[in-house]
Chain A
Amino acid sequence: MLPISDFIKGKNSEGKKVLSVFLTSGFPDPKSFTELALKILDAGADMLEIGFPFSDPLADGPVIQHSSNTALQKGINLEKTFGYVKQIREKTEKPLILMGYANPVMSYGIKKFAEDCKSSGVDGLIIPDVPLEEYESFFTPDFNGLEKILLISPTTNDERIRLTDDKSSGFVYCVSVSGTTGNEKAEKDIEFIEHSRSILKKNKMLVGFGISSEEDVRKYSPFCDGVIVGSAVIKSLMEDDDTTEAVKRTLNLVKRLKAAL
């Protein structure tokens, strides 16, 4: 079974696109994170990407750097993240993805990491600093049974898009702009998005990086199979000292984005 790709195909066959929401593990409040994740799913997220924190997140813009740092300061690590996944998994069938950098995974132990992913209920992985070139050396056979989601970006040429499609599973993550996460201002290249999707044979394609509003969702969703929202959600969660208010506003945002799909 391929939980993520089958799930997206299922949604698409009903004429729906998917909304994937990124949350930083344990952010903003470690105690209520599981609850927050479940509420986000209830509000309309079709799947969750849970980011485990790293001290030097070089693909991320200021918003996710902030959430990652805060999580680290609050003692969030992979062990705690697997704990959250387990609790969330008990309450949902929707795809759960872990996203994060290679070094904490190596430190945790590749084999143990892969085992804990499977036993806690993780369906897939996004490791942005493990590109195609390092795929074989990093994703040992221990990872069999987990979907490994690879990324393409506006600098990726056609041949490479094909190779990525071949190796990737779950979906292909289309980075809509050259830049770090949360780059709302950069002009996203619709032509690139449309063209990339036309090349993919095996995988569905989700678009992310800098998708923040209903307008973005309306604009890009016709050209892909779903969208990923990260920084906009994290930003909404951190804009308030009052967590209850922040959560309320964020759930509202997720609802609005979902309605715009």
Chain B
Amino acid sequence: MYNPIKYNLPDKDGKFGRYGGKFVPETLITPLQELERTYLGLKNNPRFLSELNKLNREYSGRPTPLTFAENLTKYFGKAKIYLKREDLCHTGAHKINNALGQILLALRLGKKRIIAETGAGQHGVATATVCAKFGLKCVVYMGEVDIERQKPNVFRMKLLGAEVVPVKSGSRTLKDAGNEAIRDWVTNVKDTHYIIGSVVGPHPYPMMVRDFQSVIGTETKEQILILEKKLPDFIIACVGGGSNAIGIFYPFIDDDVQLIGVEAAGLGLDTDKHSATLTLGREGIFQGMMSYLLQSKEGQISEVHSISAGLDYPGVGPEHSYLKDISKAKYFSVTDEEALNGTKLLSRLEGIIPALETAHAVAGIEKIIPETNKEQVIIINISGRGDKDLDTIRKNAGL
């Protein structure tokens, strides 16, 4: 059906419906305005785009393949399953797409120093990588708990010349790393650009990070039209902050495609050890945005859990909150255990070891596949590879 009203969000205030906005201390407003102005001036600038495309192609290795998962498809005997291979990007995950975009912005803003927060370390590694390439000083904030469970990435960041600052406050995971990064930015705003790693935080970040990540969906669309001569029926991706999901969803947002986000149910939704923000959270204000949040009755942010450090976050991108409310996308969650099974399944059937974050999307397949038929097509966004998680997987998967 022809839909004359095209999706065109966020609005000028950075809102997706009621979500998003700029709930930050005054000190950050002017830098955010400057960032927005610079970004809007560049986003359609042919020189900027060709520079970014060149980096995506020649440095990062784009376009990433769309792989037909023949064995996985046979295993379920239902819809055809394709894998969008962001695990094959340079640095091993989709995070580099955003880091490359933002480093080009930072250079144009004349910033000398880059800061970032990281959970799984993939965004930290991507940021450290682009800083090494462009010769900017890089400081990455990472929770102590995550430093322990993502050691290989900590070492990679150091090898790339970044300073990794352990965050000891709060739950010592991703949200606390975000708080410390914001505090650093407030203090050093003159010479520092903050590369936020997901579609979270104050406007214009959710929009800008989405735009940089939407290269995933744009390629996917071209590729599936060549391979299947039609659009997919389902697209499924894991959601922590939600950048890989938005990246693959966004170019399909006006299409008749079922978009599905999979959150981390951790030890189970009936425990308090999960990160299923859209499933169980409610509206609130946190880290610069209005969005769904996991929080106490009194509005204190919850300490959340997921086996995957990248999904271990009590908030979610404001655009996902909006897509949920208007039922454009559907969200559900899978447990740590189901995600570990997803890891094993994809490894053994397809020879691809996914990141634990990605494994949630793989596990999500089992929940939707029974309703599908052989004529239908599902695409899973394989957002990252699993090398960084081998320790955790070995300890938990009974191998």
Q: Does B29 lie within 8 Å of A131, measured CB to CB?
A: yes
Q: Which of B25, B29, B283, B301 contacts A55 (CB 8 A)?
A: B301
Q: Does A133 lie within 8 Å of B187, measured CB to CB?
A: no
Q: Does A103 lie within 8 Å of B24, measured CB to CB?
A: no
Residues of B within 8 A of A59 (CB): 25, 186
Q: Which of A72, A129, A137, A156 contacts B24 (CB 8 A)?
A: A129
Residues of A within 8 A of B295 (CB): 103, 107
Residue of A nearest to B25 (CB): A59
Q: Does A56 lie within 8 Å of B170, measured CB to CB?
A: yes
**Interface size, chain B (Cβ < 8 Å):** 38
Q: Does A108 lie within 8 Å of B284, measured CB to CB?
A: no
Residues of A within 8 A of B287 (CB): 56, 58
Q: Which of B13, B187, B283, B300 contacts A54 (CB 8 A)?
A: B300
Residue of A nearest to B299 (CB): A107
A180 touches B (CB below 8 Å): yes
- Secondary structure dominating the interface of B: mixed
Within the complex, the shortest CB–CB distance from B207 to chain A, in Å, comes to 15
Residues of A within 8 A of B23 (CB): 102, 129-131, 134
Which residues of B15-67 are within 8 A (CB) of A? 21-31
Give bound CA distance, A155 to B28, whole Å: 8
Known: A54-B300, A103-B293, A137-B21. A131 touches B30 (CB 8 A): no
A132 touches B (CB below 8 Å): yes
Within the complex, the shortest CB–CB distance from B129 to chain A, in Å, comes to 27
**Interface size, chain A (Cβ < 8 Å):** 42
Q: Does A134 lie within 8 Å of B21, measured CB to CB?
A: yes
What does the 1/0 interface line of A116-146 toward B look like (CB < 8 Å)?
Answer: 0000000000001111111001000000000
A179 touches B (CB below 8 Å): yes
Within the complex, the shortest CB–CB distance from B306 to chain A, in Å, comes to 18
Give bound CA distance, A55 to B170, whole Å: 8
Q: Does B24 lie within 8 Å of A131, measured CB to CB?
A: yes
A77 touches B (CB below 8 Å): yes
A3 touches B (CB below 8 Å): no
Known: A56-B170, A56-B286, A102-B285. A178 touches B21 (CB 8 A): no
Within the complex, the shortest CB–CB distance from A256 to chain B, in Å, comes to 28
Give bound CA distance, A9 to B13, whole Å: 36
Known: A102-B285, A178-B189, A180-B183. A129 touches B299 (CB 8 A): no
